[in-house]
A and B are shown apart, each in its own frame.
Chain A
Amino acid sequence: MKKNWPLWEVFVRSKNGLEHRHFGSLHAADETMALENARDVYTRRSEGVSIWVVESKHITASNPQDNGELFEPAQDKVYRHPTFYKLPDELKHM
């Protein structure tokens, strides 16, 4: 038959209160197996309390070549930061 298992991305929440973080990837035939493999490959030492798996082909990623137009405009928008605003020193709690 010769059909390869697809690639999955694994996200693990290390403890409640924290977000899921990308841990790595693995191959599995379906989502159940992907979860089971993720448990064995990425949480052998109590690294997590929750696992997400998603087939890698469903992830759309930005291209580093577009980094200029995507991220550089933020650099000259200093007015989005609190330090941009000049206020008197005696003003407290702001």
Chain B
Amino acid sequence: MSNKEIKNLEEIFNQRIARDEKIEPKDWMPEKYRKTHIRQISQHAHSEIVGMLPEGNWITRAPSLRRKVALLAKVQDEGGHGLYLYSAAETLGISREEMYEQLHTGKAKYSSIFNYPAVTWADMGAIGWLVDGAAIINQVALTTTSFGPYARAMVRICKEESFHQRQGFEILLSLCKGSEEQKAMAQDSLNRWWWPSLMMFGPKDEESPNTEQSMKWKLKRKSNDELRQQFVNQTVPQAKILGISIPDPDLKWNEEKQSYDFGKIDWDEFWQVVKGHGPCNKERMTARVGAWNQGTWVRDAAVAYAEKQSNKNLNKAV
């Protein structure tokens, strides 16, 4: 195709997006649109898969059967969400194996929140309330994204995820209504998870180089800072209901803006964790790669069995 023809196709493509038309996998799309989507959707999938690790560790230690079945169901959902997203990315021409390879070699990133440790039971509450809360805000904004398979996966994920946040809040609510020690445990987990949760929305707008293009493609419908502000505004009153305090001395209601002002985020910490120097980066990848490698014989055995069965059927047919 000549450059002129590509320019023309790109013009038609941009008009389709401007009209809020959805783009489907076999439609013509600019190479950069394809690449950006593969990157974002696969990283989103990786986040779901790695996100199972901090919680999986607590399933056997849940304090009651009720909590245990809920946590198990939540972690299973996260596995499912990873699978929806991997298949959405596969429609763009990348294979599942390639994506796993990128995750396992560190070429692809996942949400850095999962590089923080879950050290107490209250962390299961804080993760559900804050981490899933932040994820829902991000994901609701993506249900109207321009790429059809991604938007459809988001709709399904958002539907399933509201229970995740509610179960987390309920865990903290029980702790806050409990003994002094239990309430202190809830406060401690809020102290540790608050700032990393704010970082989940990504760098400040002025330091987010991809935002403009992503907005044009409707891959992003709201900027990082807008979403972060929305999260703060909706979470502060929830903390009041729990009766625990958000660890930010600069947090206060701004009457004029009709929203909360909040303190400065430690972006050095954010970049450290993104670059692999968070508290659990190594541990998470070791667990993930270990699970994949230890499963090799199972995957191979399943293929061997499938081949044997289909050979048997072939012989019968002869």
Contact = CB atoms under 8 A, between A and B. Distances in A.
Interface residues of B, number: 27
A1 B305 CA distance: 13
A65 B1 CA distance: 14
Contacts of B299: 5, 29
B50 to A, nearest CB: 18
B303 interface: yes
A1 B76 contact: no
Contacts of B96: 4, 27
Interface string B100-125: 00000000000000000000000000
Contacts of B73: 44
Interface string A14-45: 00000000001111011001000000110011
B24 interface: yes
A2 B160 CA distance: 34
Given A63-B26, A64-B28, A44 B76 contact: yes
A40 B80 contact: yes
Interface in B200-228: none
Contacts, number: 53
A30 B80 contact: no
B293 interface: no
Interface stretch (B61-69, B83-91, B126-134, B171-179): B83-91
A41 B83 contact: yes
B242 to A, nearest CB: 28
A29 B87 contact: no
Interface residues of A, number: 21
A82 B309 CA distance: 54
B160 A64 contact: no
Nearest to A33: B302
Contact of B302 (A2, A30, A41): A30
Q: Is the interface of B mostly helix, strand, loop or mixed?
A: helix
A65 to B, nearest CB: 8
Contacts of A33: 302, 306
Contact of B306 (A24, A25, A26, A29): A29
Contacts of B27: 64
Given A41-B83, A44-B77, A44-B80, A30 B26 contact: no
Contacts of B306: 29-30, 33
B84 A24 contact: yes
B66 to A, nearest CB: 18
A26 B81 CA distance: 12
Interface of A: 1-5, 7, 24-27, 29-30, 33, 40-41, 44-45, 61, 63-65
5 closest Cβ pairs, A-B complex: A29-B302, A30-B306, A29-B306, A25-B87, A1-B300
Interface of B: 24, 26-28, 73, 76-77, 80, 83-84, 87, 90, 95-97, 152-153, 160, 299-300, 302-306, 309-310
